[in-house]
Structure 1
Amino acid sequence: MPTARIIYTGDLRTEATHLQSGTKIGTDAPTDNHGKGEQFSPTDLTATSLGTCIITTMGIRLRAEGLDFTGTELAVTKIMTPQPPRRIARIEVQVHMRTNVELTDEQRQKCEEIAQSCPVALTLHPDVEQAVTFHWN
């Protein structure tokens, strides 16, 4: 069964529907590539997927330890190649951790290992540099 249905709505835009939930996401070409930049671009979604995968995978694996990450914020920066072919060169993820308890060094190490091994991190081409930095509060 398909995961999504995508319709090209014209003017370099799409509407993607997640078939299981019915949730919709619109995309727009970025301003540096003929678009208006009024919605996520496809490459924005790729970079954003890395951040959401990191924190979701951490939540799955560490929830059993009673750790609550509510309020944790991630800042994702996508950097494109300066020359053709156009592609993502680097994704920077700043993880500003908020937890309900002080994490041990072992727990912090586990979080960093999870970030390096989430499904999106493992799926991205090795030429895409992934720079993940944790800020522990």
Structure 2
Amino acid sequence: MTDTTAAQSSQDLQRLDVTHIEGDVYAIDVRGHQLRVDQPLDAGGTDTAPTPTELFAASLATCVAFYAGRYLLLHGLPRTGLSVRTEFAMAADPPARVAAVHVVVTPPSELPEERRAGFLAVASHCTVHT
């Protein structure tokens, strides 16, 4: 296995643990929060949870939503109506991998036009981006 971390002290590292449950189901422990992943029925799983790839796309969408929401909060604007959607496509050729991710940010309808460019700029600076 390859170590993909940059040289950092152990105090800088974030940690999560993944353990096998059964079949294609794995539990993820993140700071005491529990998540699960599985595979769809047509891929041999039991479809009891999202796939790891779906969680990847979800983490991108929620990161963008968080930064966009903080921008709105900072400027005293409502977050009602804020939404983010990710769409992803898998590569047609092996190995299996995400080939493209598309992020659609829908700002609240009350977002003033003069704040739109700043809102979109902040949303694009999510720490989990492509």
TM class by shorter chain equals 0.7 to 0.9
User: Shift of residue 73 of structure 1?
Assistant: 2.4
- Partner residue of 1:90 out of 66, 77, 100: 100
Matched residues, percent identical? 26
Which structure has more strand as a fraction of its residues?
1
TM-score where L is the length of structure 2: 0.76
2:26 counterpart residue number:
14
In 2, Cα distance between the equivalents of 1:2 and 1:33?
31
CA 1:119/1:2 → structure 2, altered by over 3 Å: closer, same or farther?
A: closer
Question: Contact 2:64 / 2:84 at 8 angstroms: preserved in 1?
Answer: no
**2:64/2:123 contact within 8 Å kept:** yes
Question: Relative to structure 1, is the Cα distance of residues 94 and 32 closer, same or farther in structure 2, using a 3 angstrom cutoff?
Answer: farther
Question: Where is the helix percentage greater, Structure 1 or Structure 2?
Answer: 1
Find the partner of 2:116 among 108, 117, 123: 108
Aligned partners of 1:26 and 1:87: how far apart in 2?
20
| Unmatched tracts of structure 1, length 5 or more | 125-137
The structure with more radius of gyration: 2
CA RMSD for the aligned pairs?
Answer: 2.1
For 2:14 and 2:60, locate their aligned partners in 1 and report how far apart those are by CA, in whole Å: 21
Matched to 2:92, the amino acid is: P
TM-score normalised to the size of structure 1?
A: 0.73
SS of alignment partner, residue 120 of structure 2: helix
Task: Give the corresponding residue for 2:69.
Answer: 59
Equivalence map 1:65-84=2 (5 Å): 65-84=75-94
Please tell me the residue identity of whatever aligns with 2:121.
E
**Relative to 1, partners in 2 of residues 1:117 and 1:102: Cα closer, same or farther, differing over 3 Å?**
closer
Shift of 1:75: 2.5
Count of residue pairs brought into register by the alignment: 118
